[in-house]
Copies of this chain bind each other. A is one copy, B any other.
Amino acid sequence: MLAEIKGLNEECGVFAIWGHEKAAEMTYYGLHALQHRGQEGAGIVTSDGDQLHLHKGIGLINEVFQEGQIKELTGSAAIGHVRYATQGGGGYENVQPLLFRSQTSSMALAHNGNLVNAFALKAQLEAQGSILQTTSDTEVVAHLIKRSGYLSLEEAIKQALGMIKGAYAFTFLTEHQLFVALDPRGLRPLSLGKLGDAYVVASETCAFDLIGAEYLREVKPGELITIDKDGLKSSSFSSPMRRSLCAMEYVYFSRPDSNVNGQNVHASRKTMGKQLAKEAIVEADVVTGVPDSSISAAIGFSEASGIPYELGLIKNRYVGRTFIQPSQELREQGVKMKLSPVRGIVEGKRVVMVDDSIVRGTTSRRIVRLLKDAGATEVHVRIASPPIVNPCYYGIDTSTKSELIAANYSVEEMCEQIGADSLAFLSVDGLEQSIVKEPSIEDGICHACFTGNYPTEIYPDTVIPAYKD
């Protein structure tokens, strides 16, 4: 139940379009489909072939953009970004895309991911006299490009990408070109599509569906795509490596209607739920999922186990940022805002509560208690992913090791702490098989947070992004 802990569901999302007369508008709708990946800030940069136009701000898409502002973003090419809330993020400055203007040309960048050698690169740049104005990794790449000395921007970008390490899905827009790049391991998802004659790129395919675009293929790990008036050109800036797509995209990040690397997310989650039922069946009366991200797995668990699936927990749709939160005293008196147990369903029943993950355990404990207070006689917690025992350096918000309950306690101890009658996790193999049909160089997942097997170098000064609570 990663999403619940943060009060947010996701990390960043990128979108790009080239060759559409309503580029800004399509980007607006595309970002709207990706809103779950980031709710702190949003921005769009367009090119009209002569100039770049930027509008960005703090908040949701519909808070940042008014109709008139979209109209001022003229041009047939655009990149857009939705940003996840990170701590100490510096506010407006860090909202992407970042736009860098010089006296001769301009360049805009947007980025989903996290670099593992950003600290060292920043130190070098500053030692050479550069001033960095944001705390974002994205700006590092801009400086590397600016300092490259190469004649063509494409070469400069390749040189810069050769110096950075980690997880990234980048889009770059100039007056005349759109560049798209994915890290050599393909840690982050990135898909390519077409909308009429226009090319579109998005973190998730649900953005294509919303605007009626057609899916073409995945952007490949280590690929640099260049799109300009002469069309689309693909090249590699890194030799082929085994794909390590973040498993968490399937577990809870991506939208169920997206296909990530060709696999439908809802279907993958349902398979995880079925697999979980096989691995850890239990006798019970009803199965319920923690909305929204665990519903698919709960349905799968129900199907495989034969235990009926019910709406045992309801998520309140109207809890927004401006809501007056109940005081601690009121919470103890029982006032609960986000999730409501359905007494009529769980009273007197043995309940299987399926959740997508456990991070600190506090949320699970709270939900178990909600269900028991509503009359559940037994609550069996089933987690549709393995225990998280390692921090993520690639942009997933899972906290440091000391805060990860599974890194510090056994399954039995955790079960006791959350007050459940039983607790079981999906196995790493079970997870992998639920996602990857036929393992290949193009189809593999990163499961470092479960296994510690990181697909890239990690340095002593690699920063775990600190997220806002």
Instruction: List the interface of chain A (C-beta within 8 A of B).
Output: 22, 25-26, 28-29, 32-33, 35-36, 60-63, 65-67, 70, 92, 100-104, 119, 122-123, 126, 128-133, 135, 142-143, 146-147, 205-206, 209-212, 255-257, 259, 263-267, 270, 292, 295-296, 299, 303, 308-311, 314, 316-320, 322-324, 326, 330, 333-337, 340-345, 374
Contact = CB atoms under 8 A, between A and B. Distances in A.
A303 B308 contact: yes
A147 B299 CA distance: 59
Contacts of A323: 32, 62
A149 to B, nearest CB: 8
B311 A256 contact: yes
Contact of A344 (B101, B267, B308): B267
A322 B62 contact: yes
B103 A131 contact: no
Contact of A209 (B102, B135, B343): B343
14 contacts: A22-B330, A28-B324, A36-B318, A60-B318, A61-B318, A62-B322, A206-B340, A210-B340, A212-B335, A257-B342, A263-B344, A295-B311, A309-B309, A317-B317
Contacts of A324: 28, 62, 65-67, 70
Contacts of A28: 324
Contact of A211 (B61, B264, B311, B334): B334
A256 B342 contact: yes
A340 B146 CA distance: 41
Nearest to A302: B309
A430 to B, nearest CB: 20
Nearest to A126: B102
A310 B299 contact: yes
Contacts of A33: 316, 340
Given A70-B324, A100-B133, A259 B343 contact: yes
Contact of A32 (B67, B102, B318): B318
A interface, by DSSP: helix, strand, loop or mixed? Answer: mixed
Q: Which 10 A-B pairs have the closest CB atoms?
A: A212-B334, A264-B344, A257-B342, A129-B147, A35-B318, A62-B323, A257-B314, A102-B126, A62-B322, A266-B311
A32 B337 contact: yes
B266 A345 contact: yes
Contacts of A314: 206, 255-257
Contacts of A318: 32, 35-36, 60-62
A361 to B, nearest CB: 23
Given A210-B340, A212-B334, A266-B344, 14 more contacts: A32-B337, A35-B317, A100-B133, A101-B133, A103-B122, A131-B143, A210-B336, A255-B314, A256-B342, A257-B314, A264-B342, A266-B311, A266-B342, A266-B345
Contacts of A330: 22, 25, 29
Contacts of A266: 310-311, 342, 344-345
A330 B133 CA distance: 36
A450 to B, nearest CB: 25
Contacts of A92: 92
B132 A130 contact: no
A342 B255 CA distance: 10
A322 B63 CA distance: 7
Nearest to A263: B344
A341 B257 CA distance: 7
A295 B131 CA distance: 47
A263 B342 CA distance: 12
A198 to B, nearest CB: 11
A218 to B, nearest CB: 15
Contacts of A206: 314, 340
A344 B205 CA distance: 10
B340 A311 contact: no
A54 B336 CA distance: 25
